[in-house]
Amino acid sequence: MARPAFPDLASGMPVPLLDLRAQHARIRDAVLAAMMPVVDDQTFILGEPVRALEADVAALSRTKFAIGCANGTDALLLALRAVDVGRDDEVVTTPFTFFATAGTIHNVGARARFVDIDPKTFNIRPDLVAAAVSPRTKAIVPVDLFGQLAPIEEIRRLVPSLPIIEDAAQSIGARRKIAGEWRMAGEVATVGTFSFFPSKNLGGYGDGGMMVTQDAAIAERLFKLRTHGSVKTYFHEEVGYNSRLDTLQAAVLRAKLAFLGEWSAKRRENAAYYTAAFADLGDLTTPFVDPANESIFNQYTVRVPRRDALKEHLATRGIGHSVYYPLPLHLQQCFAYLGYKRGECPESERAADEVLSLPVYPELTRAQLDEVVAAVRSFFGR
């Protein structure tokens, strides 16, 4: 793709990192039409839209079961419980991710075993996962970072005996070609977990999450765990959680799900526009998508050695941006008890110093894209 034409200097138009108001303006009528029957029916907890959304997400992810829950963090927590991860177990995961990935491991009583990432995709390295497995390892939690799937099939090949909890919070609708066949986010893991936080590609009007699986026994346990460990009211087979997806949120998400494919395609189009526009900037590395993947670009994340200077430059020009993530989890104060030191996950540490995410949401206009491009290029004197 040839580098597009764009203005030499930014005109001063502010461009937010994400604009949910622009999205809402387009889909408002569809969402309200989905919400009002819930309001009229007054069935706000585990109403029919929850079951319908679960069926829709199971179909999208090509899984047999989908179980809604209160948020993406709970989706991970419940999934870990469902495969019997508990006190003093180890779970192998990445340090370059949102806090919930490892926080949930801690909160079920287990210990996170951090291994480093591929510097190009930012996803966990399967060879390092295999090397980190010990007799105490009970599960593996790879993350589909920024919208492209981790190489779960390779992890499974190297470590076939352990359950894989796929943190797909940023990748609903993404896919990966495995053995010549497209497989969806959540499809091949033991349990896949999604987040419907408002900023996600499929975001609700509040918190929400979901778990998907092909395993009937795991699905049955997840259904119990989300409602205090109970199937029959007031009778509890185990201690679970109060983690139910609100009916109103399910109605909103069902209405928005109809747009997800279109939104993902527009994100890919916007990403390609940026990548072509930045092709001659030698000090800026654009996102690498594994040829086996079709990303949904939850974020468009570049690498820049002078990242903090670029942040200041963009801020003065009103260009939204963010750093996902500024401090890897193995160096967070709350995980000091695990004993990790700087230098043990060098690629994660280097990424944390260099990454910067730019606006990529589907409602961006060509003028807004050009504003971002011009602001970035002006930093490099181009």
Number of domains in the chain: 2
- 136/44 same-domain check: yes
In this structure, the answer to whether residues 244 and 263 fall within a common structural domain is no
CA distance 123 to 101: 13
In a domain, 10, yes or no: no
State the Cα–Cα distance between residues 111 and 89, nearest whole angstrom: 6
Q: Which domain holds residue 286?
A: 259-379
What is the torsional sign of CA 150, 174, 57, 69?
positive
Domain boundary among 256, 290, 308: 256
CATH number at residue 186: 3.40.640.10
Both tokens assigned to 279 = 């092709």
**Per-residue pLDDT for the chain (382 aa), expressed as one digit of tens each?**
455 555 555 567 899 999 999 999 999 999 999 999 999 999 999 999 999 999 999 999 999 999 999 999 999 999 999 999 999 999 999 999 999 999 999 999 999 999 999 999 999 999 999 999 999 999 999 999 999 999 999 999 999 999 999 999 999 999 999 999 999 999 999 999 999 999 999 999 999 999 999 999 999 999 999 999 999 999 999 999 999 999 999 999 999 999 999 999 999 999 999 999 999 999 999 999 999 999 999 999 999 999 999 999 999 999 999 999 999 999 999 999 999 999 999 999 999 999 999 999 999 999 999 999 999 999 999 8
Domain assignment of residue 330, yes or no: yes
Q: Are residues 81 and 38 in the same domain?
A: yes
* Pairing of β 165-167 and β 191-195: parallel
In a domain, 3, yes or no: no
Give the domain-ending residue among 227, 256, 285.
Answer: 256
Q: In what order do the strands lie in the sheet with 137-141?
A: 111-114, 90-93, 137-141
Integer Cα distance of 250 and 179 in angstroms: 34
Give domain status of residue 105, yes or no: yes
d(CA 218, CA 365): 44
Q: Are residues 237 and 273 in the same domain?
A: no
The pair of three-digit structure tokens given for residue 68, joined into one six-digit string:
């809604």
